[in-house]
Structure 1
Amino acid sequence: MKKLFLILSVMSLMVFSACTQLYTTTINVEKPALGDTTEVFTYIAGKDIFGDIEVIGSIEVNTNSQKDCNMQKFENDAHDIARAAGGNALIVQEIDLQFTCLNFTGHIAKITYAEDTALIDRKSLKEIWSNRFDPIEGIYESTGPNLKNMEVGVLKNNTGGYSLIYLNGTANEYRSLWREGNLKAKLSNTGAINTFKTTWLEHNRTYDTGYLISFSDGIMSLINTESEINQPFIKMYPTQNSFTSSSGSGFAISEQGYVVTNHHVVEGAESITVKGVNGDFNQPYAAEVIVTDQRNDLAIIKIDVGDVDIEPIPFQLKRELSQVGNEVFVLGYPLRATMGDELKLTTGIISSRTGFQGDITAYQISAPVQPGNSGGPTFDMNGNLIGIVNAKHLGAENASYSVKANYLINLFELLPEEMSLELMNKAANSSLADLVESVRNHVYIIEVD
Structure 2
Amino acid sequence: MEQIKKLLFIFVLILVSSAQELSAQISPTNVQELMSYFESHIQSLDPIEGVYDVNIEQWGENAYQEFPSETTNLTMLVYKNVNGEFKVFKNDQVTIKKIGNTSVYNYNLFWKGSNVTDSKRFVLKESTFFDVKYSIPDRQLRYDMGRNYQAGFKVHFKCSFIKIYPTVDMYINDIEDENIKNPKEWSGTGFALNNGYVVTNYHVIENAKSISIKGIKGDFTPKYNATIIATDKYNDLALLQISDNNFKGFGSIPYNVKTSVSDVGEDVFVLGYPLTSTMGDEIKLTTGVISSKTGFQGDVSLYQISAPIQPGNSGGPLFDSKGNLIGIVNAKHKDAENVGYAIKTSYLKNLIESSISNSILPNNNQIAGQPLTGKVKNLKNYVFMIICSK
TM-score by length of 1: 0.47
In 2: Cα distance, 1:143 partner to 1:396 partner: 41
Aligned to 1:273: 212
Aligned to 1:348: 288
In 2: Cα distance, 1:288 partner to 1:309 partner: 15
Change (3 A) 1:284 1:363: same
Aligned to 2:228: 289
Change (3 A) 1:250 1:420: closer
Aligned to 2:268: 328
Aligned to 1:406: 346
Aligned to 1:300: 239
Aligned to 2:191: 251
Q: Name the amino acid aligned to 1:266.
A: I
SS in 2 for 1:313: coil
Structure 2, unmatched stretches of 5+, are 1-31, 40-50, 54-169
Q: 2:298 aligns with which of 343, 358, 370?
A: 358
1:2-401 aligned within 5 A: 236=174, 237-238=177-178, 242-254=182-194, 256-306=195-245, 308-401=248-341
Query: Which stretch of the first structure deviates more once superposed, 316-325 or 414-423?
Result: 414-423
Instruction: Percent identity, please.
Output: 49
In 2: Cα distance, 1:434 partner to 1:143 partner: 63
Aligned-pair distance for 1:417? 5.1
* CA offsets 1:98-152 (integer angstroms, 9 cap, x no match): xxxxxxxxxxxxxxxxxxxxxxxxxxxxxxxxxxxxxxxxxxxx9998xx97xxx
Aligned-pair distance for 1:416? 3.6
* CA offsets 1:254-306 (integer angstroms, 9 cap, x no match): 1x210000000011110001001111110000001000011110010011243
Change (3 A) 1:422 1:269: closer
SS in 1 for 2:183: coil
Contact 1:317 1:406 in 2 (8 A): no
Aligned-pair distance for 1:239? 6.8
Contact 1:257 1:305 in 2 (8 A): no
In 1: Cα distance, 2:369 partner to 2:179 partner: 49
In 1: Cα distance, 2:327 partner to 2:315 partner: 9
In 1: Cα distance, 2:387 partner to 2:219 partner: 15
Contact 1:251 1:377 in 2 (8 A): yes
Structure 1, unmatched stretches of 5+, are 1-141, 150-168, 172-232
SS in 2 for 1:238: helix
Query: Which stretch of the first structure deviates more once superposed, 415-424 or 343-352?
Result: 415-424
Taking only aligned residues, the RMSD between alpha carbons, in angstroms, comes to 2.9
Aligned to 1:440: 380
Change (3 A) 1:144 1:326: farther
Q: Name the amino acid aligned to 1:269.
A: A
Change (3 A) 1:263 1:419: same
In 2: Cα distance, 1:420 partner to 1:269 partner: 24
Aligned-pair distance for 1:240? 8.9
Change (3 A) 1:360 1:342: same
Aligned-pair distance for 1:319? 1.7
Contact 1:249 1:375 in 2 (8 A): yes
In 1: Cα distance, 2:288 partner to 2:361 partner: 26
In 1: Cα distance, 2:229 partner to 2:340 partner: 27
Aligned-pair distance for 1:238? 2.1
Contact 2:253 2:362 in 1 (8 A): no
Work out which structure has the larger RCO, using CA pairs closer than 8 Å and 6 or more positions apart in sequence. 2
Contact 1:248 1:372 in 2 (8 A): yes
In 2: Cα distance, 1:350 partner to 1:240 partner: 32
SS in 1 for 2:217: coil
Aligned to 1:161: none
Change (3 A) 1:394 1:241: closer
* CA offsets 1:356-395 (integer angstroms, 9 cap, x no match): 1110000000000000000000000100001000000000
Contact 2:193 2:362 in 1 (8 A): no
Change (3 A) 1:382 1:238: same
Change (3 A) 1:143 1:260: farther
Q: Name the amino acid aligned to 2:327.
A: G
